[in-house]
Amino acid sequence: MILSFGLNVQKALLQSDVQSKTDKTPVTVADYGSQALVSFVLQQELHAEFSLVAEEDSKDLRKDGAQEIVERITKLVNDSLTSDGSYNVTLSTEDVLTAIDSGISEGGCQGRHWVLDPIDGTKGFLRGDQYAIALALLDGGKVVLGVLACPNLPLTSLKDAGQHSPNNEVGCLFFAEVGGGTYMQPLDGSSAAKVQVSAVENPEEASFFESYEAAHSMHDLSSLIAQKLGVKTPPVRIDSQAKYGALSRGDGAIYLRFPHKGYREKIWDHAAGCIVVTEAGGVVTDAAGQPLDFSKGKHLDVDTGIIVTNQKLMPLLLNAVKESLKEKAPSS
């Protein structure tokens, strides 16, 4: 339901459906609608109070002049509920605003918290490119469950067919539970299969992922790291946690993310992707080789950046990162 919601909205997005947040990043009716739907489904299925650390909230939607966009979100949410048919309800605008905020919390190291990025890669979504819907569950500060829906990701490897599979079949759902491995299921409902990260040991044969947006990650730094490793192929630049999904099935062997100075990573941008990759045999650390700590609230305090690869390549990658950071550091 939530996946077809995103795809339908992506195809028919209006200019008025896109807003700018206070941090100047875009948010669309799809981000709000997806959050309302996921929250609504959690509420219906869990039959209990839950804690949700999610990217969006209803603050801007409750301001004067936002009535029109709230009505549009409500219509999209109701259209999606109707076409899915699992829940026989029609939500009011107030129900939608309440759903967007339900369970809202800062997370932390105690108890269980759901973590949601309702549309990850909003800029990719707006371009018609990759995006993901990312939901994870934290228990005692650790990610124990992750689901990553990538409606525009080809079913076949990006390695084999560029960004498009021969018959253009797209739509992948990745899911992982701690200790249970990672599975990928086509969104057409056919059966799920276990996936594994690339077993490549020679960095010359590895390809790497990074953000499409140069504003989100320093492309010059990743290029230096790749050069030091001896990586031969050019970077594969795609939006969102689809990078984690693609890496978990071995489309590429490395993901490099180095935000510009001052940016603080958020847990919803990495929680689902992190377990999807680690359960597929990969390793996710910061630039100092430390695992990501999801127990500190909504922020992830990482040293310099985030790097992902398989266990064999990690020591080489960490060395290349260390050397590159030293080289790039302004001399004192």
Ligand X SMILES: Nc1ncnc2c1ncn2[C@@H]1O[C@H](COP(=O)(O)O)[C@@H](OP(=O)(O)O)[C@H]1O
Residue numbers at the binding site for ligand X (CB under 6 A): 25, 55, 117, 120-122, 124, 211, 213, 215-216, 239-240, 259, 263, 266, 269
Of 263 and 327, nearer to ligand X (C-beta) is 263
CB of residue 27 to ligand X, shortest distance in Å: 8
Question: Is residue 117 part of the contact set for Mg ion (CB under 5 A)?
Answer: yes
Buried b (16+ CB within 10 A) or exposed e, 262-292: eeebbbbbbbbbbbbbbbbbbbbbbbeeeeb
Burial grade of 46 (CB within 10 A; 0-12, 13-18, 19 or more) = exposed
Alpha helices in the chain (DSSP H): 2-11, 29-46, 67-84, 93-101, 122-127, 158-161, 219-229, 242-248, 271-278, 314-328
Of 216 and 298, nearer to ligand X (C-beta) is 216
Q: Which residues are annotated as a binding site for Mg(2+)?
A: 55, 117, 119-120, 269
Which window, 122-130, 151-159, 273-281, 305-313, contacts Mg ion (CB under 5 A)?
A: 122-130
Question: Is residue 239 part of the contact set for Mg ion (CB under 5 A)?
Answer: no
- Inter-axis angle of helices 67-84 and 2-11, to 10 degrees? 130
Candidates 31, 129, 239, 251; catalytic one: 31
Of 27 and 231, nearer to ligand X (C-beta) is 27
Residue in 208, 238, 214 with CA at minimum distance from that of residue 320:
208
Positions 37 through 76 that interact with Mg ion (CB under 5 A):
55
Of 120 and 210, nearer to Mg ion (C-beta) is 120
Candidates 74, 122, 182, 309; catalytic one: 122
Q: Does 31 participate in catalysis according to the annotation? A: yes
Exactly one of 76, 81, 114, 120 binds Mg ion (CB under 5 A); that residue is 120
Which window, 70-78, 115-123, 136-144, 300-308, contacts Mg ion (CB under 5 A)?
A: 115-123
Report the residue closest to ligand X, judged by CB.
211
What is the C-alpha to C-alpha distance for residues 237 and 195, in angstroms, rounded to an integer? Answer: 22
Q: Does 122 participate in catalysis according to the annotation? A: yes
The CA distances from residue 97 to 12, 15, 35, 82, 106, in Å, are 22, 21, 10, 19, 19
What is the C-alpha to C-alpha distance for residues 101 and 325, in angstroms, rounded to an integer? Answer: 40
Interface contacts to Mg ion, rule CB under 5 A: 25, 55, 117, 119-120, 122, 269
Tell me which residues are annotated as active site: 31, 122
